[in-house]
């Protein structure tokens, strides 16, 4: 840990240099670039609330190290948090819905089980939750490190449901049943800042286990999930990833 901190301290990022992380279309369905600056590094090492840049960069790391070139690319997909959030839904829900549909269309036929991960932010640097969508089975899993369910974000649920229905209509798939939302019983944070870390943990563990079904029983059975409940530090994100920023 001290070696990582020293590397970051000596990096030109900590002296005002901004780095660009270029991500190919495999990550979010379209080419994407993320700027990493001093404040992003401080979020990690000073255990602060995570912003979109850190969320996106770690997603890119997971894709590059766990998924690229494997069959996992057909089972797990990511949706950019910068394009789907409460702020944008409030301003233009139709545009956000169409963004989701476009993302769904980029992937395969979606007739076999797979998950779309949406790290969703309540807006203006607020709370992070994870929404995982299985389009083939019309299932939406909601993972929140605080109590409550999707009813806290009715506009988000309405937009996701509408996007799934529109996507299936464009692909001429029959809607065999209603969309089912499941509140997954998952680890809970014990402070007011760790929600972003938990969202990253949820995604990483699901991908590492190659597990499409993530109902309540899976988490309760503790099948290899990394359940870090307190003192989540930068070591989680930068144990091997420090080369991105050096």
Q: Quick one: pLDDT at residue 98?
A: 96
Say which CATH topology domain 2-244 has. Answer: Adenoviral Proteinase; Chain (3.40.395)
69 versus 33: which is more confidently predicted?
Answer: 69
Tokens at residue 170, please? Answer: 């464009």
Checking if the pLDDT of 234 tops 80, the result is no
Q: Quick one: pLDDT at residue 140?
A: 97
Q: Quick one: pLDDT at residue 61?
A: 84
Q: Quick one: pLDDT at residue 219?
A: 52
Q: List pLDDT tens digits, range 192-229.
A: 888 998 898 899 889 988 888 886 544 543 433 333 32
Q: Quick one: pLDDT at residue 17?
A: 57
**Structural contact between residues 219 and 225, judged by C-beta atoms closer than 8 angstroms:** yes
Q: Which residues pair with 28 in a beta bridge?
A: none
Q: Quick one: pLDDT at residue 236?
A: 37
Domain boundaries, the chain: 2-244
Checking if the pLDDT of 239 tops 70, the result is no
Q: Is 134 helix (H, G, I), strand (E, B) or coil?
A: strand
173 versus 179: which is more confidently predicted?
Answer: 179
How far is the C-alpha of 204 from the C-alpha of 226, rounded, in Å? 9
Q: Quick one: pLDDT at residue 5?
A: 54
Model-level pTM greater than 0.75?
yes
Kindly tell me the sign of the dihedral angle through the C-alpha atoms of 202, 203, 205, 206: positive
Q: Which residues pair with 164 in a beta bridge?
A: none
Q: List pLDDT tens digits, range 81-113.
A: 988 888 899 999 999 999 999 999 987 666 678
* Confidence band, pLDDT 50/70/90 cuts, at residue 10: low
Mean per-residue pLDDT over the chain, rounded: 79
Looking at residues 176-198, what average pLDDT do you find? 88
Give the number of other Cβ atoms within 10 Å of residue 175's Cβ: 11
Terminal-residue alpha carbon distance, the chain = 15
Checking if the pLDDT of 35 tops 50, the result is yes
* Confidence band, pLDDT 50/70/90 cuts, at residue 2: very low
Q: List pLDDT tens digits, range 42-85.
A: 777 677 788 888 899 889 888 988 899 999 998 999 999 988 88
Checking if the pLDDT of 14 tops 60, the result is no
How far is the C-alpha of 162 from the C-alpha of 209, rounded, in Å? 30
**In degrees to the nearest 10, what's the CA dihedral of 133, 134, 140, 141?**
-80
């Amino acid at each position: 840990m001290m070696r990582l901190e020293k590397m970051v301290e000596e990096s030109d990022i900590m002296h005002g240099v901004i780095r660009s992380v270029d991500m190919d279309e495999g990550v979010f369905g379209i080419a994407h670039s993320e700027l990493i600056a001093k404040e992003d590094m401080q979020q990690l090492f000073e255990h602060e609330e995570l912003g979109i840049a850190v969320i996106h960069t770690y997603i890119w790391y997971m894709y590059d190290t766990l998924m690229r070139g494997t069959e996992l690319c057909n089972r797990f997909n990511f949706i950019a948090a910068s394009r789907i959030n409460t702020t944008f839904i409030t301003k233009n829900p139709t545009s956000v819905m169409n963004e989701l549909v476009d993302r769904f269309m980029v992937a395969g036929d979606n007739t076999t089980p797979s998950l779309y991960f949406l790290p969703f932010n309540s807006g203006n640097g607020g709370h992070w939750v994870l929404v995982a969508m299985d389009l083939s089975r019309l299932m939406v899993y909601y993972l929140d490190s605080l109590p409550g369910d999707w009813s806290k974000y009715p506009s988000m649920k309405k937009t996701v449901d509408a996007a799934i229905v529109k996507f299936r209509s464009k692909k001429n798939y029959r809607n065999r049943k209603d969309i089912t939302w499941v509140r997954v019983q998952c680890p809970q944070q014990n402070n007011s800042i760790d929600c972003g870390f938990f969202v990253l943990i949820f995604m990483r563990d699901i991908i590492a286990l190659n597990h499409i079904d993530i109902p309540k029983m899976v988490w309760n059975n503790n099948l290899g999930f990394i359940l870090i409940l307190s003192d989540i530090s930068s070591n989680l994100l930068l144990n091997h990833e420090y080369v991105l920023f050096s």
